[in-house]
Structure 1
Amino acid sequence: MKWDHLAERQSQEHISTWLEYLLQQMPFLAMQLANQHRPGHTATVASELTAGSCDIFSFVTFEDGTSVVVRFAILGRTIFRVEKTCNEVSVIRYLARLTIVPVSLVLGAGAWGCGPYIVTQYIPATPLSYHIESSFAVNALTRELRRGYHCMARIILELSKQTFPRIGALSQDIEGKWTIFKRPLTHNINDLVRRGNVPTCVFPDKTFATASEYFIELATEHLNHLWYQRNSAIMDATDCKRKYIARCLFRRIARIIDMEPGPFRLYCDNLHPSKVLVSARGNADFSVAAVTDWGYSYVAPNEFTYAAPWWLLLEPPEKWGANLTQFVPRYIPYLNIFLRILSACEDNDIQKGTLEASQRLSDRMANSFHNGLFWFCLAARNASMFDQIYWTFLDTRYFGPLQSLDDRLCRLSVEELGELDRFVALKMKHANEKCLDEHMSFDDYVRL
């Protein structure tokens, strides 16, 4: 489903307004914030701003030559900026203290006049994606590719060892214990509000005791997306009906599919080779210096961890092309390479006694691509690709061959079927009106 073009235009306007204000404060703001979190030293220079996917940052250098990174969550690109920043700080501190995953240490965090910020140590290194992409450029299974996959396998395996009793955001209480008492803030929630114009109030503020409960919530988010997005959501009445049926049936799948009980594992929506910084150690050899961008990290259903990685070809799902079946033969060879490397890492950890055989991921990931779990989890987390994934890989698997769209009406509940005509009429009205519901003012966005 395409995003609401009017919502995206509004988001861009917010970004421009906020960025103009930020630029007026630079470079003095970055230096002032850096000074606050490195007492006894004086910042001497701040670089020009560099934009990332969700943040914009400046490199600040001190009189002793030490550099730090001051990061600002971009208003208009990130909706729940305070919540995301708090979650990221918590996860980074947890990983630094209790895991072997290298991270850029947090020196401090807080708020300036127009939003939150984080100050972290500066680590000079190269994104791992650069090394993997070079292998794709020459169309070869190079040593760099295998080494890159090995780095990612080690990170994923370490995250999978971090288990918790509920699904939600990781926080540290006043006694210093790591707990789950806040909702899981996901990249998809951010997109639904920012690009789909879904009101923030429809997302429940709670944790989840079971994977089934959480997947039903994700399925409900897809229905809310179709309900609230006014523009670019449907092409005609038939398309609307098709999208409504798909979301109702996906929620039915979420209710009947077998889910693994807790404890649940730490998961990051944004984990990708571009977020992994590596230092060169020789020809085609390197080591992980730090993993960055932990804002959309949370304790998730085990099924997310068990699903094969979506990033093996580096491209996000939105770039896979209109025909997903053509993606599969491109993906499978690289999946097989990654799984062999992951399996070797597991063998090594089992020998060292840091992993139980029952904790292996490689077999589960291999099965996920054949039993549909890979596509189910991807559809649950990705609103823009939902319809394409559902009709290509999920509908027939769970409900049999499709002769016509009306074949699926008998699968809907009495309530869902009774709502269908009214829903289609409402969405056709939305499409004709070509306007945007105003759920929040600019000041509301600033406060979030």
Structure 2
Amino acid sequence: MDWDHLAEQSSDQLFAGWLRLLFQKSPALPSRLASQHRGGTAPVTDVSEFTTGACNICCIVTFADGFRVLVRFPILGRSRFRTEKTRHEIAVMRFLSRQTTLPVPRVLGAGRWGCGPYLVMTVVEGTLLSQRLRDPAVDAPRRNPQVSDADLERAYRAMAQIVLELSKPTFSSIGALVEEPRGWRVAPRPLTLNMNELVRVGNLPPGIFAEKTFGTARAYFEELATQQQLHLQHQRNDAVKDEADCRKKYLARCLFRKIARELYEAQPGPFRLYCDDLRPSNVLVSGPEWTTTGVIDWEYTYVAPAEFTYTAPWWLLFESPEAWETDLQAFLPRFTPRLRLFCHVLRACETEQIQQGTLHDADRLSGRMAQSMDSGVFWFCLAARKSFLFDEIYWTFLDPRYFGPGSLEDRVALLSAEELVELERLVPVKVQQAREKRLEEHLSFDELVEL
């Protein structure tokens, strides 16, 4: 499904207006926040230019004694659950710094300014792993042809060690982490990157998602299937082309929910931490051996079904899944050799850690990741997490696997009586919405700022 172009325009307008307000307050604002949370008497000597990412805008504040901090502001318009996102990320970074060996920034403080939340943390030195790998001749994130196979292995080794360390803590429910006096608990809902995108460029109402944790993988996958249904119901523009397209998209979502219910039994965890956006551009390295010096940007990290951890990493080609959409079949010949190499490197890292006593043989990931392509779990989990790629993934990989050959009429016969009634209700509504080309406003500006 395409982005709602009117929702995207609205998000861009929010960003532009918010950015003007931030620039009016800067550099005094980041300087004041850095001094407030760093403490001490050293004055600020420099505030860098802002660097804009997908969800945040940041600057580095330098003090007279050489100490540097990063001041980060979640972007209004691009980030739609800014307060919740920041709170969850702080909890995750504190957990990882105390419970794992991952090098993460130290949180110095957080709060709110006039137009939203902010976060102050230590600066991690190093070069982004993605910069060492990226081809500077193209805008797209593609591997530099000058990067040797040995360098690619070094990069994969750095990522393999991070993935392994993140997989070690286990939990009994699915959701976000919260720190309490007695330790850590899974309490709020899991906030995902996909939820953010559904609101940002699908224009779903922010309050539409479930506000709870989940005790089984099946329950959570059913929730993700529900989110796919909500996407079709609530995105008004660029959602369907005509009646036939609407029927096909509705069918895919009903049948995906059927797969989720039949594929997973209602069994408890353990569940593991998963970061929706973990990739080489979030990893800093140094030296000829590409030693990891820091892992940054832990937003949209939550306790998830173990299947997310067990699937092949989507970032192996150093592209986002959205870059595959033009031809998913052509993706496999490019991806498969990279997966073999990564699993080889990961297996070696696992063996080293097993010998050191820091990993159990039963907790190896490499075999599961290799099997996830053949079993279809890779595509099932990706479809569950990527609403704007859902239809392409479902009809290319999931429908033939789980339901075999057949026509759309054959698939309609698999629907329940309630689903058939909803299908006939939904189709004319979506076709009418496509004609109207109208954007619904769910929140006032003040409510957006507070969210």
Equivalent positions of 1:201-212 (< 5 A) are: 201-212=207-218
Maintained 8 Å contact 1:60/1:69: yes
Maintained 8 Å contact 1:185/1:298: yes
Pick from 337, 345, 350 the counterpart of residue 346 of structure 1. Answer: 350
Please give the alpha-carbon distance, in whole angstroms, between the structure 1 residues aligned to 2:264 and 2:300.
26
Please give the alpha-carbon distance, in whole angstroms, between the structure 2 residues aligned to 1:306 and 1:147.
21
Tell me the equivalent position of 2:154: 147
Maintained 8 Å contact 1:44/1:61: yes
Equivalent positions of 1:73-222 (< 5 A) are: 73-133=74-134, 136-138=143-145, 142-173=149-180, 175-222=181-228
| Residue aligned with 1:401, SS | coil
| Count of residues in Structure 1 that have an aligned counterpart in Structure 2 | 443
Matched letter for residue 12 of structure 1: D
Moved more, 102-111 or 209-218: 102-111
| Residue aligned with 2:202, SS | coil
Please give the alpha-carbon distance, in whole angstroms, between the structure 2 residues aligned to 1:321 and 1:188.
16
Matched letter for residue 178 of structure 1: W
Please give the alpha-carbon distance, in whole angstroms, between the structure 2 residues aligned to 1:393 and 1:292.
33
Please give the alpha-carbon distance, in whole angstroms, between the structure 2 residues aligned to 1:327 and 1:21.
43
Maintained 8 Å contact 2:174/2:215: yes
Please report how far the alpha carbon of residue 176 of structure 1 lies from its aligned counterpart in structure 2 after TM superposition. Answer: 4.1
Tell me the equivalent position of 2:340: 336
Please give the alpha-carbon distance, in whole angstroms, between the structure 2 residues aligned to 1:246 and 1:383.
12
Maintained 8 Å contact 1:4/1:231: yes
Equivalent positions of 1:199-278 (< 5 A) are: 199-258=205-264, 261-278=268-285
Please give the alpha-carbon distance, in whole angstroms, between the structure 2 residues aligned to 1:352 and 1:166.
29
Please give the alpha-carbon distance, in whole angstroms, between the structure 2 residues aligned to 1:425 and 1:78.
32
Please report how far the alpha carbon of residue 139 of structure 1 lies from its aligned counterpart in structure 2 after TM superposition. Answer: 7.0
| Residue aligned with 1:150, SS | helix
Please report how far the alpha carbon of residue 405 of structure 1 lies from its aligned counterpart in structure 2 after TM superposition. Answer: 1.1
Maintained 8 Å contact 1:48/1:58: yes
> CA distance change for structure 1 residues 151 and 43 in 2, over 3 Å: closer, same or farther?
same
| Residue aligned with 2:9, SS | helix
Please give the alpha-carbon distance, in whole angstroms, between the structure 1 residues aligned to 2:328 and 2:339.
16
Please give the alpha-carbon distance, in whole angstroms, between the structure 1 residues aligned to 2:416 and 2:325.
33
Matched letter for residue 120 of structure 1: M
Pick from 430, 437, 444 the counterpart of residue 434 of structure 1. Answer: 437
Maintained 8 Å contact 2:251/2:411: yes
Maintained 8 Å contact 1:170/1:299: yes
Please give the alpha-carbon distance, in whole angstroms, between the structure 1 residues aligned to 2:411 and 2:37.
59
Maintained 8 Å contact 1:31/1:44: no
Equivalent positions of 1:278-293 (< 5 A) are: 278-279=285-286, 281-282=287-288, 285-293=289-297
Matched letter for residue 294 of structure 1: W
Matched letter for residue 193 of structure 2: H
| Residue aligned with 2:46, SS | strand
What TM-score comes out, normalization by structure 1 length?
A: 0.97
Please report how far the alpha carbon of residue 356 of structure 1 lies from its aligned counterpart in structure 2 after TM superposition. Answer: 1.2
What TM-score comes out, normalization by structure 2 length?
A: 0.96
| Residue aligned with 1:277, SS | strand
Please report how far the alpha carbon of residue 321 of structure 1 lies from its aligned counterpart in structure 2 after TM superposition. Answer: 3.9
Tell me the equivalent position of 2:450: 447
Please report how far the alpha carbon of residue 140 of structure 1 lies from its aligned counterpart in structure 2 after TM superposition. Answer: 6.3
How far does the alpha carbon of each residue in 1:1-53 deviate from its partner, in whole angstroms, 9 at most, with x for none? 00111111111110011100000000000000000011112222211111011
How far does the alpha carbon of each residue in 1:276-331 deviate from its partner, in whole angstroms, 9 at most, with x for none? 0111x23xx22111111111000000000001000000110110142201000000
| Residue aligned with 2:211, SS | coil
Maintained 8 Å contact 1:92/1:106: yes
| Residue aligned with 1:179, SS | strand
| Residue aligned with 1:411, SS | coil
Please give the alpha-carbon distance, in whole angstroms, between the structure 1 residues aligned to 2:325 and 2:254.
25
Please give the alpha-carbon distance, in whole angstroms, between the structure 2 residues aligned to 1:411 and 1:321.
27
Maintained 8 Å contact 2:133/2:147: no
| Residue aligned with 2:347, SS | helix
Identity percentage of aligned residues: 54
Matched letter for residue 167 of structure 2: S
Maintained 8 Å contact 1:70/1:119: yes
Where does the alignment leave 5 or more consecutive residues of structure 1 unmatched? none
Please report how far the alpha carbon of residue 441 of structure 1 lies from its aligned counterpart in structure 2 after TM superposition. Answer: 1.2
Tell me the equivalent position of 1:367: 371
Maintained 8 Å contact 1:131/1:145: no
